[in-house]
Structure 1
Amino acid sequence: MSNPSTEIRPSILLPRQPVPALDLPLTNGERFVLGAQPGEQFDLLVFYRGLHCPLCAKYLIELERLAPEFASRGVNVVAISSDTEERAQEMAKKVSASGVRFAYGLPLKAAREWGLYISESRGKTSIGIEEPAMFSEPAVYIVRPDGTLYYGAVQTMPFARPGFADLVAAIDFAVAKDYPARGEYTGAV
């Protein structure tokens, strides 16, 4: 067990506050720079564990299926991992990506700034792919065009992630009702 005084814990991002910078290569040869060309309504950032994760592939296939729904609502979608270019290309191919852009090479320090949990390798997964030595666990963030956090869901495990159909409906509601980001209070309780 590590010494509690030297432990490094994930950051907590606050709604209505600026999110950390992101500038990562994409599998299509371009770069994803958060805020450079934001979606009309939001950017949807889906952090996934990597090619080794069969649940990630299933989740990203659903994201790809619904990518046109997000696009029609003014939402840019990007899937992000700390995988290498080769592994990210393979995941993009596995999910037949055309509407979802795949960013790769997320430094673990940046993952921690985004509040992501970090795991160490346990060897090969159930699909026979070796886990990286260390990788980040999943998260889904919705970021406003001004670079502030609107929604966040951070996980310690690959199970029970937010459903993308639910997020489409939530975006419809939020835009129609001008619903504010919630959870921003940091005062005494």
Structure 2
Amino acid sequence: MTAPFPHLLPRQSVPDLRVPIVGGRSYDIRKDAPATFSLIVFHRGLHCPICRTQLKDLEAKLGDFERRGVSVVAISTDNEERALQTGLDWQLPHLRIGYGLPLQVARQWGLYISRGRGSTSIGINEPDLFSEPAIYLVRPDGTLYFGSVQTMPFARPHFADILGAIDYVVKHDYPARGEADVTFESAGAN
């Protein structure tokens, strides 16, 4: 029997997250100090053409997030060489690109892990193991506000929608939802 799959609850503290950033810096969620949110975008890595499209869109919207007080980082399990190539090949000069996410930490964040299956449609080999995509908004106090975790690379949330949601949330002081941690003792429980 496998261990229960971890899930994060809104309004609860998120796990630690420390990774190196391309360019010699590092990212530590406990030291990140955004005015409104930290936006953490976990991506599959260099081999993923959908990640390329997603992160190029994110790069184009960085100023929009920064004007809203949101700090942004994109993180993968890729090694430093692949992360550096991601930034260069995908033309992401301003996006903070984190790398070397340990698989154990990925699981603590509730990410799904896939096994590599050879070369992708863009001719780049998948790593032996890597995490699937997820997007999180974390409040400055380190609690989860929003999470979207995926098992597949397809049908990801759009950053324009997230920007609109942030505007609404801030304007209306909208609370985090999904915080109820309930268990159901019988199949007939409502």
Shorter-chain TM-score: which interval? over 0.9
Q: 2:175 aligns with which of 153, 158, 180?
A: 180
| Cα displacement (A) at 1:38 | 2.0
Letter matched to residue 128 of structure 2: A
Is the CA contact 2:33–2:140 (under 8 Å) kept in the aligned structure 1?
yes
Quote the RMSD (CA, aligned, Å): 1.0
Is the CA contact 2:49–2:122 (under 8 Å) kept in the aligned structure 1?
yes
Q: 1:15 aligns with which of 10, 13, 23?
A: 10
Structure 2 gaps of 5+ residues are: 184-189
User: Counterparts in 2 of 1:56-75, with a 5 A limit?
Assistant: 56-75=51-70
Provide the aligned length of Structure 1 versus Structure 2. 184
| Cα displacement (A) at 1:106 | 0.1
Corresponding residue of 1:52: 47
2:151 equivalent to 1:156: yes
User: Counterparts in 2 of 1:82-161, with a 5 A limit?
Assistant: 82-161=77-156
Query: TM-score, length-normalised on structure 1?
Result: 0.94
| Cα displacement (A) at 1:9 | 4.7
Is the CA contact 2:32–2:38 (under 8 Å) kept in the aligned structure 1?
no
Is the CA contact 2:132–2:151 (under 8 Å) kept in the aligned structure 1?
yes
SS in structure 1 of the partner of residue 135 of structure 2? strand
Query: TM-score, length-normalised on structure 2?
Result: 0.94
> Partners of 2:5 and 2:84 in 1: how far apart?
28
Q: Deviations over 1:34-61 (max 9, x none)?
A: 0203211000000000100011001100
Q: 1:169 aligns with which of 143, 164, 175?
A: 164
Q: 2:27 aligns with which of 20, 32, 53?
A: 32
Structure 1 gaps of 5+ residues are: none
Corresponding residue of 1:43: 38
Is the CA contact 1:10–1:114 (under 8 Å) kept in the aligned structure 2?
no
